[in-house]
Amino acid sequence: METLGFLMEGFAVALTPYNLMFALFGAFVGTLIGCLPGLGPANGVAILIPLAFTLGLPPETAMILLTAVYAGAMYGGRISSILLNIPGDEPAMMTCLDGYPMARKGRAADALAVSAIASFSGGLIGTIGLIMLAPVLARFALTFGPAEYFALFLLAFATLGGITGKNPMKTVIAAALGIMISTVGIDISTGTQRYTFGVLELYEGIDFILAIVGLFAISELLFFVEHRMGEGREKMQVGKLSLSLKELVTTIPTQLRGGILGFISGVLPGAGASLGSFISYTLEKQVVGKKGRFGEGDIRGVVAPEAGNNGASSGALVPMLTLGVPGSGTTAVLLAMLISLNITPGPLMFTQNADIVWGVIAALLIGNVLLLVLNIPLVGFFVRLLSVPPMYLLPIVTMVAFVGIYSISHSTFDLYFMIAFGIAGYFLRKLEIPLVPIILGLLLGPEMEKNLGHALVLSDGDWSILWGSPLAIGLWTVAGLGLVLPYLVGPLLRRRMNAAIKESPVSD
Amino acid sequence: MTGFGDRILGLGLLVLAVAYGWAAQQWPEPFGGAEGVGPETFPTILSVVLVAGSLYLMIKPDPDARWPVGKSALELLVSVLVLVVYALLLEPLGFVIATTLAVGTLSWRMGAAPKRAFLTGLGSAVVVFVLFNYGLSLSLPAGLLEVH
């Protein structure tokens, strides 16, 4: 019941007109970001961080804004899946399988409406799960010492590539690069200058916001330039809504199953939203069996993955809020916002910054309602925006990224730095070095070093403290599994996911 | 030869890792004597990890990606150049002019008709400028258009 009290306080924070306005704005922008191909959720949230920063928003408002964007992006991803057969973001991939065939049959409006409802129930289930699980996990995390935290950070890196990741060694390299960048600047505990080369701008270290924006936004632009995808594609007509209440009611069990499965895979390290929607879809196919017509426009094939990925997006907030260890790219970017607001993420946040945590959670609930309300009548508007070809859109997005970075410091030095990160990001993506571990390394590097230092001070320089408790050993084991499993299970799972996509008759 | 990209990357990272690790050993001992963890401890671990990673890349490289050649490579170079010039001219020319040129050139190179491309650039520049300077009162450089 204590939780309920906190939640009420959270609602008091989230329901102030000022915060509500930003939640609405965030939900709207988020849907936009989600539905535009080429502008993923992590990218979109990253571009908004500098803006939230320069506007001088109070911490809870800034977090509410970005969480609303995050939730909105998960809603938006489905629109281009259904109408263009291109997922607006990665988790929306599975929605293509039945969404696009439905649209081809002239039921685009129904697919959009039912997927909005499924997103809502998935998001709702996920948020309820978050409310129940997060305080418990936060209380548990209070027992962590510095050695356990160090192991936990390693676990986060090891599982970040995900079970479906291709080459875990590249995740390790990316993480090491990120942490290395974070060591540039004056060492906090001793005052030694590290890797500054006497350049004044480097004394305070490299601002991770400009690294994130550069790595995501600029490299995305370069990818589009390379592939000449500027034209955009033909899209389906939306048509009239013919969804009956009865049909909607029959999808309720699917929504529940999808939401719960999604939430679980969101919480678990190494799973994430893409796997969440994949599992929901596959399970639904098995539960329904031969009676369903999956791949040909079965309505449940749209409901399951959408409920799944929205459940997973709320689930992914659990480790981020309670442990300060994000499990996905977008939650990593949200963590970047928290750190730049000078809030120490982790279990203490639940006691020290209760208003922010519960404000964000309440905002997620409100945001879901807002999104449902926004998405059903405004779907036509978002659809029209889909026809803006990337050749106009991406340059403008890049310009907004420039403006955001410039307005933080009013220094062109930062802009060159951002471009350099963008070029590096392009090459790394080409070489299949994942960018998210780099960002996580940038964010967690200082914390990792601090915890290592604390642990060794406590043990008087004895390194075995790092694996001295059962909990720490457990974390090391999971981290090890996170690196080894992709070799064993990864190829199998990836083959299945590809097979599922190829099976559908319209995978042109 | 396959895996050429990964091998070069591995070599580059190896050099980086060794230089990074070597630099860490050069720092003077902090005031108050050496403790369990000095400023060099953590970077040293990182450099060892990266050395291992880069060796792995060179020994077991993944198949090569398809790299842009000829025209695409040139287009990429142009885009990067536009971005650098944009950053360079942002303050002297002012936000509106620099943005019109940058966004216009980029959309034109991505396939838009030149006239529409630069009009998009001008439109977005004016909207963002007005929004930032008057709506959010964050000043963007006016440059040549500054009213004295």
What's the mean pLDDT when you consider all of chain A? 83
pLDDT at site A506? 37
Instruction: Quote the distance between the C-alpha of residue A398 and its chain's center.
Output: 20
Tokens 């690069």 label which residue?
A177
| pTM for this predicted structure | 0.84
A194 beta partners: A185
Q: Is A419 within the bounds of a domain?
A: yes
Q: Is A307 within the bounds of a domain?
A: yes
A168-182 and A146-160 are packed helices; what angle lies between their axes, rounded to 10 degrees? 130
User: Is residue B100 less than 8 Å (CB to CB) from chain A?
Assistant: no
Range of the domain at A423: 2-141+153-238+263-503
Helix ranges restricted to H, A55-107: 59-84, 93-104
Highest mean pLDDT range out of A46-50, A289-293, A364-368, A390-394?
A364-368
Q: Is A487 within the bounds of a domain?
A: yes
For the stretch A23-43, pLDDT in tens is: 999 998 888 888 776 677 788
Residue A463's pLDDT band, with cuts at 50, 70 and 90, is: confident
Q: Is A269 within the bounds of a domain?
A: yes
Residue B13's pLDDT band, with cuts at 50, 70 and 90, is: very high
The C-alpha of A421 sits at a distance from chain B's nearest C-alpha, in angstroms, of: 12
Question: Element (H or E) spanning A266, and its range?
Answer: helix A252-267
Query: For residues A456 and A189, is the Cβ–Cβ distance under 8 A?
Result: no
Q: What is the DSSP letter of A294?
A: T
Mean pLDDT of A166-194: 84
Number of domains in chain A: 1
The C-alpha of B1 sits at a distance from chain A's nearest C-alpha, in angstroms, of: 16
pLDDT at site B31? 61
Question: Element (H or E) spanning A124, and its range?
Answer: helix A108-141
- Is residue B33 scored above 60 in pLDDT? no
Q: Is A247 within the bounds of a domain?
A: no
Residue in chain A nearest B137 by alpha carbon = A55
Q: Is A254 within the bounds of a domain?
A: no
Please report the ipTM that was assigned to this predicted complex.
0.89
Q: Is A255 within the bounds of a domain?
A: no
B residues 43-82 lying closer than 8 A (beta carbon) to A: 43, 46, 49-50, 53-54, 56-57, 62, 65, 67-68, 72, 75-76, 79-80
A186 beta partners: A193
Contacts with A404 (C-beta within 8 Å, 6 or more apart), sequence order:
A47, A48, A49, A50, A51, A54, A213
